[in-house]
Structure 1
Amino acid sequence: MQDEAEPPVRADERRVGFTLRELEVLRALVETGKATTAAQRLGLSQPAVSRSLAQLEAELGRTLFAREKGRLVPTREALAVNEELGTIFAALARIADRSATKRRSLTGTLRLAAPPTIAHRFLPSRIAQFTKDNPELEVVFDVLSSDALATSVAEATHDLALTDNSPSHDGVRTELLLATQAVCAVPSRHRLADWEVIRPEDLEGEPFISLTRRHSARAAMDRLFERAGVRRRIVIETATSVSAAEFVREGMGVAILNPFPIAHQLVRGIEVKPFEPAIPYRTSFLLPASKPASPTTLAFMEATRASLP
């Protein structure tokens, strides 16, 4: 066993504090009573153990072990220090265990669901990366209408769903992923294309592309225009923000949309303007209220959050 290479220390250099390795040596010596045994436990040479002990004693200004018949007997000071170190090393062990758990590939099955826009425009790359990181994991991914998600999660048919609807169901609990505000999408050559902000009164009589009534935001939007006394001319109702954006691109009218997750697609042929008053959107994870989330579910949620810009 080779001694650890250490740079020489000049006599005029003053060391500040002590190292984790020296504290590990102290604990090993308290538990074994022999420098040779402590060295084997720590993967060090016996001289390295003796040197670490000498440096620690010099730093603390006290003798930590008495030499008696070939054994190192801890003094009261050594025992007191070792007792204080118990909680520190326990915490380090928990951190190391969590890190090891993260490194281990997850197994089993993860059942996910999302409405079409999130399912097609946001989740595929995240699911692909998660399965690459966990090759032994099977993922079942379903595309469901927003109103079916809550029931499916409540019944534990799916472990996790992601939606920008706001379900009112006792069987699910929500955890926020992202908060956004609605934008107004208009064709590039539209009269409103150069306006900085769009308000309800600006859309009086405008051809309007609306999401279907099953969307939770639809009712809030209808109430907003009713309070403003503005009549829109709805030319088409559509089920997804993606299709609504395409109808805007084709010049059929304007639309008020959640920019997540299609903001990067609202470029060619479309101008996106802030809309006031603000219409908030909350994109959230849905989980069964009847049971705690599994480690796999929590790991996917963490990975999804980490993937956001």
Structure 2
Amino acid sequence: MISADCFLAMPEDHPLSTLDRVPVAALDGLPMGALQARHIHQKRTLAAFAQSGARFRQVIESQTFLPLLQFIRTGKCLALVDPLSVINERGYVAQSRPVVFRPLDQTIRYDYAILSPRYRPLSQVAQKLRSGWMARLYDLLASIEAAPRWEEQSHGMLGKDQGSGD
């Protein structure tokens, strides 16, 4: 598994876009887009807000990050997004207001993993595919300074109420 730092996504002209790193406390009461309440990322986000003494005001819920970017682009909300959404958005030439991304002053990690059967060995082709994807993912995350880290993957990592990374 690889984990990496999340970013704050906001419209280009948002006042916080002038900051190099955004304090989570500065998001107090601002309209936020977020993943579903049971997703581990949302739980981590809420914990970071609580630790900073900030109120989390969710106005939009999504199953994934990419739809949230449309709401951000139109100025409806901000969101804490995973690094692959940053990479995807940077490759997209927006016709309307661009979305900008800033790191946070407090680390919120996002996990990426490839799930495979526990009791059946992977084929050589599947092993090469997994290794190649994980190496490429690590390089992409490093290219945007998301501080990627290889993590030990535990078998009990994904409880039924925790959700998962992408």
Q: TM-score, normalised by structure 1?
A: 0.40
The aligned residue for residue 282 of structure 1 is 111
Query: Is 1:211 aligned to residue 40 of structure 2?
Result: no
Distance verdict in 2 for CA 1:239–1:200, change over 3 Å: same
> Which of these residues, 59, 66, 79, is aligned with residue 255 of structure 1?
79
Structure 1 contact 242–262 (Cα < 8 Å) conserved:
no
Q: Over aligned residue pairs, what C-alpha RMSD do you find?
A: 1.8
What is the rounded CA distance, in whole Å, between the counterparts of 1:305 and 1:228 in structure 2?
33
The aligned residue for residue 49 of structure 2 is 225
- Segments ≥4 residues shifted beyond 3 Å: 305-309
The residue matched to 2:46 in structure 1 has which SS? helix
The aligned residue for residue 195 of structure 1 is 19
Shift of 1:185: 0.6
Structure 2: give runs of 5+ residues left out of the alignment.
140-166
The residue matched to 1:192 in structure 2 has which SS? helix
What is the rounded CA distance, in whole Å, between the counterparts of 1:304 and 1:234 in structure 2?
33
Shift of 1:306: 5.1
Query: Is 1:304 aligned to residue 133 of structure 2?
Result: yes
Structure 2 contact 30–56 (Cα < 8 Å) conserved:
yes
**How do 1:79-94 and structure 2 match up within 5 A?**
none
What is the rounded CA distance, in whole Å, between the counterparts of 2:28 and 2:126 in structure 1?
46
Distance verdict in 2 for CA 1:271–1:261, change over 3 Å: closer
Structure 1: give runs of 5+ residues left out of the alignment.
1-175
What is the rounded CA distance, in whole Å, between the counterparts of 2:130 and 2:121 in structure 1?
14
**How do 1:61-76 and structure 2 match up within 5 A?**
none
Query: Is 1:265 aligned to residue 95 of structure 2?
Result: no
What is the rounded CA distance, in whole Å, between the counterparts of 2:26 and 2:4 in structure 1?
22
Shift of 1:291: 1.8
**How do 1:97-108 and structure 2 match up within 5 A?**
none
Distance verdict in 2 for CA 1:294–1:185, change over 3 Å: same
Structure 1 contact 187–249 (Cα < 8 Å) conserved:
yes
Query: Is 1:244 aligned to residue 73 of structure 2?
Result: no
Percent identity, please.
24
Structure 1 contact 180–260 (Cα < 8 Å) conserved:
no
What is the rounded CA distance, in whole Å, between the counterparts of 1:235 and 1:306 in structure 2?
36
Considering Cα pairs closer than 8 Å and 6+ residues apart, tell me whether 1 or 2 has the greater RCO.
Answer: 2
Report the residue type matching 1:240 in the other structure. Answer: T
Shift of 1:232: 2.5
Deviations 1:176-216 (A, max 9, x none): 2x331010011111111111111111011211111111321
Deviations 1:216-269 (A, max 9, x none): 111111122122221132111111110111211111111001111542414741
The aligned residue for residue 148 of structure 2 is none
